[in-house]
Amino acid sequence: MKRIRMLWIGMILSTAAAAAQQDLNGDWQGRLAVDAKTSLTVRFTFSKDARGMTTVVLNSPDNTAIKNTPATGVAWDGVNLKLQVAALGGSYSGVLKDGKLNGEWTQPGGKLPLILAPYQKPVTTPAEKKTLTGSWHGTAKVNGLDRNVVLRFKPDDKGEMTGTMTLPDQSDEQRPLEDIQFSNGKLDVRLAPVRGTYSGTLAGNQFNGMLKLPNATVPPEGIAVVFKRGDYVPEVHALKLTAEGFAQLAGKWQGTLERTPPKGQKVSSPVALRFEKNTAGQYVAFFDITNQRVNTLAITDASFSGGKLIVKVALMGAEYQATLSDKTLTGQWSQGNGAVRVPLTLGR
């Protein structure tokens, strides 16, 4: 009788262990070595639906295009896992061993080893939240041009860190950040508005790190960007216009910029050229592109004489030459060192 009881207890323990082994709920993360210099962090999130079936979504902190991508055909027997990710044309198969899933990611063109391990988001302490809270600004060189970036962080009502990103050279809009992680001086954040990521280490009052962007001019490992604590103060481009000339130009001039890219469809963008006087009494101007939410793009140089206007936008490598007639500016917009030349008429 005692032996039967021991066997029964053993069966219960074995069943409990198998049930624990079968539970994949939560996040499992690993890295895909795409090549010798490039790797991609992938994170599978497992959960159970109302029917008790295992569901899986795939995310990549390194690639904002891969977000909550569903997996199908999920097969899990407590040891072996198989699933497909149709949106990426890939699949994964792995075997649970020593607390990790050892397997392969398969896509057209080949297979890559991928080991997944349970993942827990780093915990940000109250002191670390206080350290991160505030504004941080840096400069990233993209397409040969320096572009200012401002990150702002603060805790929400639940104490979770939230953040926004602003590109002050072109817009004052604060757009939300995602997947903010800050622990032990290490910051990782997803810059969803530009489909990029940033990883940096705190050193004094600045973060030293790498910015990754889906841009042909940005190497796979990213570009070095330093974010310094403090508010960003934009450069003022005071225009050398006469009082008489400014009086003729002051205000908002609007029109539509139309161009047809090679082998593409015509692109129409509502634009505006604004001449203003700032609080210091300086003449300044800005170029707005409404459908791209650009409203702080500074005119960096301007001349106006005999009804002839020339303005330059350094950030775009652009220039507009026009003739003023009554309340209309008629001229040509050029961009990319003259690669793009299109007519542009603006009215006030």
Coil/strand/helix, residue 291: helix
pLDDT at 142: 85
Give the sign of the dihedral formed by CA 56, CA 60, CA 63, CA 64: positive
Q: Could you tell me which of 159, 158, 137 has the C-alpha nearest to residue 148?
A: 137
Give this prediction's pTM: 0.74
pLDDT in tens, 90-148: 999 999 999 999 999 999 888 999 999 998 888 999 999 999 999 999 999 888 788 99
CA gap 345, 286 in Å, rounded: 16
Name which of 87, 97, 25, 89 is nearest 56 in CA terms: 25
Domains and CATH numbers, the chain: 24-119 (2.40.128.120), 126-229 (2.40.128.120), 243-347 (2.40.128.20)
> DSSP secondary-structure letter at 36?
S
The Cα 66–Cα 59 span in angstroms is: 5
- β-pairing, 161-166 with 145-155? antiparallel
Instruction: Of 239, 255, 248, give the one whose Cα is nearest residue 327.
Output: 248
Per-residue pLDDT of the chain (348 residues; tens, 9 = 90+): 444 444 343 444 444 444 444 578 899 999 998 877 778 889 999 998 888 888 999 988 878 788 899 999 999 998 999 999 999 999 999 999 999 999 999 998 889 999 999 988 889 999 999 999 999 999 998 887 889 999 999 999 999 999 999 999 989 999 999 889 999 999 999 988 888 899 999 999 999 999 998 888 888 889 999 999 999 999 999 999 999 999 999 999 999 999 877 667 788 999 999 999 999 999 999 999 998 889 999 999 999 999 999 999 998 889 999 999 999 999 999 987 777 899 999 999
